[in-house]
A and B are shown apart, each in its own frame.
Chain A
Amino acid sequence: MKAMYAAFLATVVIAVGAWYALGEIGFSAGDRSSSPAVRLGDS
């Protein structure tokens, strides 16, 4: 069962890594339909 637990842990690590990376490159739907001149959310 070690392989299963290791894979689940890897899933969490990959997800957090992807979240950080996607946030950094600004590829959310909001980001794509916006610009510095458009105020969305908290900004």
Chain B
Amino acid sequence: MARILLTLTLSFFLGLPLAAPLAAQEVAQTTETDRSATGGAQTLEDIMARQRGEEVPDRARDGDDPDSAGAVAGQLGTLGGSSDSDVWSALRYGTADVTVSSGGPEARVLIQDRGMWWLQFREGPLITYGSWLLIGTLFALALFYLVRGKIMIDGEKTGRTVTRFKFIERFAHWLMAGSFILLGITGLLVLVGRKVIIPTFGHEAFSTIAIASKWVHNNVAWAFMLGLILAFVFWVVHNIPNRTDLKWIKVGGGIFTEGVHPPAKKFNAGQKLIFWSVIILGASISASGLSLLFPFELPMFAKTFAILNQTGLPELFGFGLLQEQLAPHEEMQYAQLWHAIVSFVLMAIIIAHIYIGSVGMEGAFDAMGSGEVEEQWAREHHGLWLDEVQSKEGAPSSGKAKPAE
């Protein structure tokens, strides 16, 4: 019995060093694709695996490019020791020494394989989730209207009005608002053209729509940016968060309950949220828009990714390290995606803003329409601001307030 045990023990330990490489070899054989048929170049299985989004070892990335190929010899012709496959691999992975007669670094990119990922994301999740966001917002507002109805002025109207916004403030608002609506519509038309407009109206119709949309989008963008700057300058002082906002938030601004009117200055917490959303998201949309408007001149994503990597946040959230070297076209693709994603978010916010400023609340539109609001409206929604205005004018109940026409 002891002899059997000794034999088994010795066999185990002696056999281990031999078995280990054999086991490793087995694993290697199962994980590594047989590329003998292509002389080590990628196979159909590699291509299929890459399309499935799997990691495929790239032989060409290990320095196998035409420059390191053998010299011209015998029947090999002008390519020397390089095969066509080597040339295409090097072009694909950006290791080929490409010379072009015009353009900058972008013109030297002949194959850019991240383009497919971008196209699929753009026509898939971007349109799908973006559309659901907008439809969901409209649905939620319709539901809110059915449940709460129009928010009316609770108290008795005074017949007097107070100047809420000056001409130049309203001008800035409408410059931004009008251009944003145009940009939103034309941006959506361009985005969903291939998937929605071409199948519905045909190529010819979309051609006209796309050309018009592109013209409007590229040129009206400047009006939006100007409006954004003006709005920031005029209203930033009034939109700095303060303690009053907490009271407003605590009761949900009184939006959900009739007769509840929390105190607020010129802008309440809800309006401050809209203001900062417009400024921050609008600035971000403008930055990515400028990057798209001046192709290849304003790359910003490789740098942003490098900064993000330094913070460690991408790894913390399981994204690994972000790409810090991007082809010029990849920069444009990221700019387009970011531009669209942030725009969808801002569009959803603005739809809610349009609702509350029009059909959602009695007297709200006057603030940006004529600039004159009913005093009772001001008392209910911006009580502290009304007190300030009236104390400046020295007459608590009338002052410069004018009778409503």
Interface of A toward B, CB cutoff 8 Å: 1-4, 6-8, 10-11, 14-19, 22, 27, 29, 32-35, 37-38
Contacts and interface: CB of A to CB of B under 8 A. Distances in A.
B394 interface: no
A34 B222 contact: no
Given A8-B178, A35-B102, A3 B107 contact: no
B222 to A, nearest CB: 4
Among A8, A14, A16, A29, max chain B CB count under 10 A is at: A14
A37 B100 CA distance: 11
B149 interface: no
17 contacts: A3-B167, A3-B168, A4-B369, A7-B175, A7-B227, A10-B223, A11-B182, A14-B222, A14-B223, A15-B222, A22-B219, A22-B293, A32-B104, A32-B295, A32-B296, A35-B101, A37-B101
Among B106, B173, B220, max chain A CB count under 10 A is at: B220
Nearest to A2: B167
A8 B173 CA distance: 11
A30 to B, nearest CB: 9
Which range holds the interface residue count of chain B? 35 or more
A37 B72 CA distance: 32
B294 A27 contact: yes
Interface in B202-253: 215-216, 218-223, 226-227
Nearest to B167: A3
How would you classify the secondary structure of chain B's contact residues: helix, strand, loop or mixed?
helix
Contacts of A29: 295
Among A16, A17, A29, A37, max chain B CB count under 10 A is at: A29
Contacts of A8: 174, 178
B370 A1 contact: yes
A3 B103 CA distance: 45
B102 A15 contact: no
A32 B223 contact: no
Contacts of B268: none
A15 B219 contact: yes
A41 B177 CA distance: 35
A1 B369 contact: yes
B103 A32 contact: yes
Contact of A27 (B101, B222, B293): B293
Contacts of A2: 167
Nearest to B166: A3
A34 B103 contact: yes
B219 A4 contact: no
Contact of A11 (B175, B295, B369): B175
Contacts of B220: 11, 14-15
Given A4-B170, A18-B219, A32-B106, A11 B179 contact: yes
Nearest to B227: A7
B215 A33 contact: no
Contacts of B101: 35, 37
7 pairs of A and B residues whose beta carbons are closest in the complex: A35-B102, A7-B174, A3-B170, A15-B219, A7-B175, A11-B223, A14-B223
A35 B100 CA distance: 11
Nearest to B371: A3
Contacts of A11: 175, 178-179, 182, 220, 223
A19 B102 contact: no
Contact of A35 (B103, B172, B173, B219): B103
Contacts of B275: none
B171 interface: yes
Nearest to B177: A7
Given A14-B226, A19-B219, A38 B371 contact: no
Given A1-B370, A4-B369, A33 B175 contact: no
Nearest to B182: A11
